[in-house]
Structure 1
Amino acid sequence: MVDDAQLQRWFCDEVLPLEASLTRYLRRNWQSSEQIMDIRQDIYEAALTGGRQELPANTAGYVFTIARNILVNRSRRERIVQFEQYADMESVEQAVDLSATDRHLDARDALRRAQDGIERLPPRCREVVRLRKIEGLSTREAAARMGVGIDTIERQLVLGIRAMADAMLGGSGKIRREAPSRRPKVRGQ
């Protein structure tokens, strides 16, 4: 548990300086500019709530992950058909934990997207992701099993995870290889 003074210092020193980039991120990724300030406040509230348990090592990553999750959840809620009247509110069973049901459905949807993302990967990359992330093998064990070098396993894992994340967020899920950096030729050697 983090004490209030430490939490306040963290928030002022590390979270608030991200406000400009966070606002730009929200403007790029949310259709209604009138809601940006409300969403930003929700992000701050979630950051403070989570930070009260333990301060994150990477504040920017933490805040932008919260922002992405809040945008995804708001987007899902807006897509739900709103009923103006509900005939018999008394007939709804109060004991049903709807949030648990929603979490279960969200988890199933995320699992389906992850499986689709894995299936889109090239065979070698798919095998590396399966061995490292599903079977839990170390880099060295996966390299030995596949008969390749550790560098190959690490590179394929990074490419695979990036492609899967892209697929899970609605992208194409294709492997994107960065062009190798060219070193300038040194004359006379």
Structure 2
Amino acid sequence: MTAALDAWFVEEILVHEGALRHYLARHWPNVDERADLRQEVYARVYQAAATELPRHPKAFLLTTARHLVVDRARRGKVVSIEPMGDLEPLHVLVDEVSPERWCGGRQVLHRLSDALDRLPARCREVVWLRRVEELSQREVAHRMGITEKTVEKHIAKGMRLLADQFLGGDDAWPRTRRDAGADHRDADDDARHAD
């Protein structure tokens, strides 16, 4: 199997090295790391092909490269919270959370929870998926079976209502008949776009 896999790899994957180099040149800014990325892509493709050969080798190669670039970029954004050395000589004061600060944070979370609960149902779901679960606009639209334009409308409305709630207090936006009908209008918009 290894000899057959090696032959397949040479004939179906290595022939696309130029495309892979071009992709990495466009999507990875650090020139010094591109060779390592290319080798890791090859290793991942080879390992996956040992289980099952992909039907479209070039597409599989470039998709693997895309996933690797995204993973590396995501890891690059993570900031380590481990101390880098002894902070005592720097006389850095660690800010302990005072009871007042803790209580204030709890109050803000409670107000946010109340404000989210007061949003119209579909608007609340869109805001939750988009802002808390961090789904893309397209993923939210797909999951809820609505258009991306409707997702945009719900986000804009939800953010406006939440801002009003925080800036204007508890009675900033009582639920009106216009708000109650918004979900029905959005459903009508989705039905028109689905045709």
Which TM-score applies when normalising by structure 2?
Answer: 0.47
Question: Relative to total residues, which structure has the larger helix share, 1 or 2?
Answer: 2
- Select the structure of larger CA radius of gyration: 2
TM-score by structure 1 length? 0.49
